[in-house]
């Protein structure tokens, strides 16, 4: 079964080399029970580790069932350990958070045979632990823990059992029980290689090999060994094991890796919570900042929409005389005839002139000073001001200079209180007006209350109330956004022609404001601020990712012996790496999900307490969650790689 030829192994202790094995040659047949003895430092444990493919020789050949295994890759050695060998350690090496049954199942996981759970049950029954399957290691005696380790070694039905001081930590009774189990296994055909320093334990073996200073000094048959052994026929070809096993992770294996990662997180609650905290804060900051930015963007959009869309606003300019700026309209004053001319420009949908002034509104024993605005009948549609209650004044009322008015919500509150203002008669600057409608609520922008206003027909304002012969501004609604620039140029040419202006005079004579440009500029500014806030919050996520990496590196150190055990029972580097990456991603995803809830709560709190407009969008949730998973993957990769590269022997010896 096993043939060693001139095996050497030297360990480095600083600059000094210690020869653990010096030209060891050995043959072990199928079904043998071999005990390896020797004082501490004789090389017996090193020899066992080489036989178990946990370590590699510096030179020489190792033939396992006729196959030289000295040049195989780490992944191939892991497959052979999982299928051909079962390990029984002096320290038991049971995972404390798993039950006896779950510990016994571990080799099945790495063999992709988790569905064969009954094998673990059978193994525990064979070692007399049928009543202790649900117990954890800290609930078992030393002898029971060693039985669990033996059951774990047998679960994949390996032909070779390797036992390193299997009774070293046991009392006499437990020692006898464990040796009885090993003898029974040997009688059933299993090949057993056992390291021990106790003569009474070695006496159970058929063959006793003694070592000293890295060499075999004797190899004797035990004359007292009289048991009939039926060698277990080895029906497994090494090549079949190496090439018949898929190197890809199967679905069942992935689920098992996820389960292992989950239990690792749950069993270290405080460490996991600290890891998640950094991600939680980062994601919460991203969600809250993006919600504020999105809310500000929508608030600005609504404000612009309340002013009207596809609008051009034409205003008279200001002229400078000897360095002194004159009032607006000193060069050009617009008339209602200009308004009619602009309405005929191709691409113009509606036109509404406007003048403004202040007026004292009086009703009963209440009065209020407010802004009075005279407009055309198209103002309601152009400025999103169709009355919420009542109606807007008509074209006929404008031509007749009717004394009708539409008022804002603030005027209603200050003048009428809870009374119904519709059809009520009020005095504005001592002139009676009938209230025919109430404007929709638009709220406050900066320092201006858009609802503190009275709107009356333009002609009534000019000739009856404010005494103006000219309009202050003209709103022009363009039929299509793509025609904005064309219509703007046409109106500019029209004004120059009608008012006989030179090109130089036209620069100061009037101005045309494009509301679409203003809206786009404000939205771009908001987007820039949103990106800035999001970037700042993202830094928190990166800091959280670094925290994850640090915690995972600490976890690798804490779980070094566990990693060594998993490798000893057949875990490949990819298995270890995948488990640690899953742990990292699960922690960051969980922290991210909690961060989404926390960030949404902060955003809503800001909306309630500070009155800010916020909006938690689905895209920001997906972005933050996805980024948190990405952080877990990136920052978990290095610790996972560190764990997967651990040497199994060094890991098992780690204190």
Task: Report residue 514 as tokens.
Answer: 């494009």
All domains of the chain in start order, with CATH: 2-247 (3.40.50.300), 261-301+521-653 (no CATH), 333-500 (no CATH)
Measure the CA–CA gap between 181 and 163, rounded to whole angstroms.
Answer: 12
Cβ(409)–Cβ(368) below 8 Å: no
Q: What's the pLDDT at 604?
A: 85
Question: Residues of 343-382 as b/e, b for ≥16 C-beta within 10 angstroms?
Answer: bebebbbbbbbbbeeebebbbeeeebebbbbbbbbbbbeb
Cβ(121)–Cβ(92) below 8 Å: no
Higher pLDDT, 114 or 387: 387
Share of the chain above pLDDT 90, in %: 26
Residue of 55, 41, 40, 54 whose CA lies nearest to 8: 55
Residue of 445, 415, 340 whose CA lies nearest to 405: 415
* pLDDT at 325 exceeding the cut of 50: no
DSSP 8-state class, residue 471? B
Q: What's the pLDDT at 251?
A: 42
pLDDT digits (tens, 9 = 90+) for 197-229: 888 888 888 899 999 988 999 988 887 766 555
Q: What's the pLDDT at 520?
A: 66
Query: Considering only 63-72, 131-140, 184-193, 579-588, which range has the smallest mean pLDDT?
Result: 579-588
Higher pLDDT, 559 or 254: 559
Cβ(465)–Cβ(428) below 8 Å: yes
Higher pLDDT, 328 or 357: 357
* pLDDT at 87 exceeding the cut of 80: yes
Q: What's the pLDDT at 107?
A: 86
pLDDT digits (tens, 9 = 90+) for 351-392: 999 999 999 999 989 999 999 999 999 999 888 889 989 999
CA 282 to chain centre: 10
Q: What's the pLDDT at 632?
A: 77
Q: What's the pLDDT at 516?
A: 64
- Return the HEC string of 150-168: HHHHHCCCCCEEEEECCCC
Mean pLDDT score across all residues of the chain: 83
Measure the CA–CA gap between 525 and 389, rounded to whole angstroms.
Answer: 36
Measure the CA–CA gap between 463 and 466, rounded to whole angstroms.
Answer: 7
Tell me the pLDDT band of 34, cut-offs 50, 70 and 90.
Answer: very high
Q: What's the pLDDT at 76?
A: 86
Cβ(380)–Cβ(387) below 8 Å: yes
Three-class SS of residue 334?
strand
Cβ(231)–Cβ(71) below 8 Å: no
The length of the chain in residues reads 655
- Secondary element (H or E) of residue 578: helix 573-609
Task: Report residue 148 as tokens.
Answer: 């669990």
**Longest pairwise C-alpha distance within the chain:** 133
* pLDDT at 272 exceeding the cut of 90: no
Higher pLDDT, 351 or 638: 351
CA 429 to chain centre: 64
Tell me the pLDDT band of 304, cut-offs 50, 70 and 90.
Answer: low
* pLDDT at 111 exceeding the cut of 60: yes
Alpha helix (H) ranges present in 355-414? 379-382, 395-399, 409-411
Q: Is 303 exposed, middle or buried (0-12, 13-18, 19+ CB in 10 A)?
A: middle
Measure the CA–CA gap between 593 and 556, rounded to whole angstroms.
Answer: 25
Measure the CA–CA gap between 356 and 374, rounded to whole angstroms.
Answer: 6
Residue of 212, 241, 311, 236 whose CA lies nearest to 77: 241
| Pair type for strands 33-37 and 191-195 | parallel
Q: What's the pLDDT at 465?
A: 93
Tell me the pLDDT band of 248, cut-offs 50, 70 and 90.
Answer: very low
Average pLDDT estimate for 431-442: 93
* pLDDT at 344 exceeding the cut of 80: yes
């Amino acid at each position: 079964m096993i043939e060693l030829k001139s095996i050497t192994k030297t360990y480095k202790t600083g600059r000094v080399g210690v020869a653990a094995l010096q030209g060891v040659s050995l043959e072990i047949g199928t079904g043998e029970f071999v005990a390896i003895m020797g004082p501490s430092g004789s090389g017996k444990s090193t020899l066992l580790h080489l036989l178990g493919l946990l370590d590699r020789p510096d030179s020489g050949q190792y033939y396992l069932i006729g196959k030289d295994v000295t040049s195989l890759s780490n992944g191939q050695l892991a497959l052979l350990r999982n299928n051909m060998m079962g390990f029984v350690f002096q320290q038991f090496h049971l995972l404390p958070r798993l039950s006896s049954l779950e510990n016994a199942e571990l080799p099945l996981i790495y063999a992709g045979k988790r569905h064969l759970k009954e094998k673990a049950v059978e193994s525990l029954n064979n070692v007399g632990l049928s009543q202790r399957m649900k117990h954890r290691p800290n609930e078992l005696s030393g002898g029971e823990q060693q039985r669990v380790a033996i059951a774990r070694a047998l679960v994949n039905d390996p032909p070779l059992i390797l036992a390193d001081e299997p009774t070293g930590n046991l009392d006499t009774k437990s020692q006898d029980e464990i040796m009885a189990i090993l003898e029974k296994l040997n009688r059933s055909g299993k090949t057993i290689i056992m390291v021990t320093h106790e003569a009474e334990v070695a006496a159970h073996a058929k063959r006793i090999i003694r070592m000293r200073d890295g060499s075999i000094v004797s190899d004797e048959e035990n004359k007292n060994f009289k048991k009939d052994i039926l060698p277990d026929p080895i029906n497994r070809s090494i090549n079949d094991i190496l090439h018949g096993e898929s190197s890809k992770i199967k679905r069942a294996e992935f689920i098992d890796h996820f389960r292992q990662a989950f239990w690792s997180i749950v069993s270290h609650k405080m460490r996991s919570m600290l890891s998640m905290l950094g991600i939680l804060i980062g994601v919460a900051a991203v969600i809250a900042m993006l919600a504020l930015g999105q809310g500000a963007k929508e608030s600005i959009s609504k404000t612009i929409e309340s002013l009207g869309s596809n609008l051009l606003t034409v205003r008279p300019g200001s002229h400078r005389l000897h360095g002194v700026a004159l009032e607006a309209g000193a060069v050009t004053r617009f008339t209602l005839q200009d308004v009619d001319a602009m309405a005929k420009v191709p691409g113009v949908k509606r036109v509404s002139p406007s003048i403004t002034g202040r007026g004292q509104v009086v009703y009963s024993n209440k009065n209020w000073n407010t802004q009075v605005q005279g407009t055309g009948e198209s103002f309601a549609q152009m400025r999103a001001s169709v009355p919420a209650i009542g109606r807007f004044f008509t074209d006929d009322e404008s031509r007749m200079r009717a004394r009708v008015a539409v008022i804002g919500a603030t005027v209603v509150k200050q003048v009428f209180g809870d009374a119904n203002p519709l059809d009520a008669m009020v005095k504005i600057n001592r002139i009676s007006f009938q209230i025919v409608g109430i404007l929709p609520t638009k709220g406050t922008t900066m320092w201006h209350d858009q609802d503190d206003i009275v709107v009356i027909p333009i002609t009534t304002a000019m000739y009856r109330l404010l005494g103006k012969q000219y309009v202050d501004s003209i709103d022009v609604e363009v039929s299509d956004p793509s025609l904005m620039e064309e219509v703007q140029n046409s109106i500019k040419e029209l004004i120059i022609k009608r008012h006989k202006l030179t090109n130089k005079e036209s620069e100061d004579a009037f101005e045309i404001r494009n509301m679409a440009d203003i809206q786009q500029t404000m939205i771009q500014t908001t987007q820039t601020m949103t990106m800035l806030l999001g970037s700042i919050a993202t830094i928190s996520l990166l800091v959280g990712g670094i925290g994850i990496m640090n915690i995972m590196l600490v976890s690798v150190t804490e779980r070094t012996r566990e990693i060594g055990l998993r490798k000893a029972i057949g875990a490949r580097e990819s298995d270890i790496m995948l488990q640690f990456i899953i742990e990292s991603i699960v922690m960051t995803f969980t922290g991210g999900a909690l961060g989404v809830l926390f960030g949404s709560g902060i955003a809503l709190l800001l909306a309630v307490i500070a009155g800010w407009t916020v909006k938690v969008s689905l895209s920001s949730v997906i972005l933050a969650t996805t980024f948190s998973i990405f952080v877990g993957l990136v920052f978990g990769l290095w610790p996972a790689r560190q764990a997967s590269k651990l040497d199994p022997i060094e890991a098992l010896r780690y204190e």
